[in-house]
Structure 1
């Protein structure tokens, strides 16, 4: 995994925590409206795993995830890059949204790297 500053580590963890919180809230709302939540649940699981892998690498925290769960989470996170990058390209330069997306993309890339290292 690439060398990452402590500040970048903290930003990445916060980006995952924020995305998880937003996804959990969306899941509650979708469940109340009886909408299909399968995709969101799959993404949320991938976010949990991504965060756990980063915390393992940087903070030596353990996690309960099996290699197959990590491999599936990796594919889910990889599948999010095109839409994140599209939103990033469309966001206004210097805007808070652009900064948030930049941090989120970096955090997801670092998590994918951690997953790659774990799977190999």
Structure 2
């Protein structure tokens, strides 16, 4: 957790005992209450944001704003239309030459209009 080893954790515990002494249980309780309040504030802010966006965004999730989650959701998930189409191509897309194959004399190389 937080890249803290056993020795470092022991030093932190001893340091906390020296600094706070008898008040350590009270300080730990206050820290727990603060953490609970922060979670409640974050959840209420999330609910307010979803309510303010309206019914169009009812399935909106704050985690979608994370760039890794966005890329995973929109680029790396399987696309059912793509998988269900013949050979992975839609009707309006030109067929590409087989990978690694050489072109015959006078044959045009494959062209992907979305790549340019």
TM-score by length of 2: 0.24
* TM-score, normalised relative to structure 1: 0.23
- Work out which of the two has the higher radius of gyration on C-alpha atoms and give 1 or 2: 2
